Amino acid sequence: MTTSLQKMIIQDRIALKNGHGNMPYLELRFNGAEVHLYLHGAHVLHYQPAGQRPVLWQSKSSLFEPGKPIRGGIPVCWPWFGAHPNDPKQPLHGVARLAEWEPVRSSATSEAATATLKLPASVYPDASLQLTVELSDHLSVTLTTINNRDTDINFTEALHSYFAIQDIHAVTVTGLEGQRYIDKLSSDKSLQTQNGPISFSAETDRVYTDTSHACAVIDTALKRRIHVSKENSLSTVVWNPWIEKSIRMPDFGDREYLEMVCVETANCGSNAVTLPPGQTHAMHLRISTQKDS
């Protein structure tokens, strides 16, 4: 255990443990709630409020190997979302989720437990990237980019949140009514308008643009609402792979699509970020839950 990792430990509040694939993670605790933050990819894999079922979903088929992404939780997609814009040989969703991140600092008060990791400078010298996780009566995740160059940098990004649900057929996503989106599964890439809440009966992959609206994942089978709000994010991605794509993915169970839905906090497509020299951009995600009667 390195000295820098030892300094992250705070008795009864932040512990260092070995998880899947013997990968190290930080366990944050607050008033009975728990979060697991893996150093691999700065990946929040587990969030469980006190007395509740887990809020984040993870695949039982996920690979926990160096150089491979973790399937589930909140992957960090950066500095590009999706395929690389110019080089198809580059990894999908960028380099951040494949790297081993470094500890920066941690703290614990009567109001929250907090931990910050940074992407090693050798992975992407043009920018400094940090992820801060704060656990209180809700979960907050902030992805901060600082431009180290003397010219502008351009990037896209996402906190690719996978939410745990009871049954996708009984789930709707609200908050994006009337918003414009691109259907990535359609040959027609013109903007469409969302009519009513989002429901699911087939593979879904939509990028809602120019929207900072909060969303709610309404799970009628589980009688729970997951509230998702954000700052400095103008894209929201809604995704479920459904049957055929689930079967094609080696790190995703054939029927696991039934128990997850992604509502992703992002800046992608036309909402790509242009960051001037020396400037900072911080994208913020907040997750909370509400029990429905």
List, by residue number, the catalytic residues.
Answer: 160, 264
Nearest to 126 by CA among 95, 87, 82: 95
Residue carrying structure tokens 């950066």 = 78
Residue carrying structure tokens 């979903």 = 57
Question: Quick one: tokens of 228?
Answer: 């998702």
In DSSP terms, 16 is beta-bridged to 26
Which H/E stretch holds residue 104? Answer: strand 102-108
Nearest to 286 by CA among 268, 267, 269, 263: 263
Nearest to 27 by CA among 88, 91, 104, 115: 115
Residue carrying structure tokens 């929250």 = 112
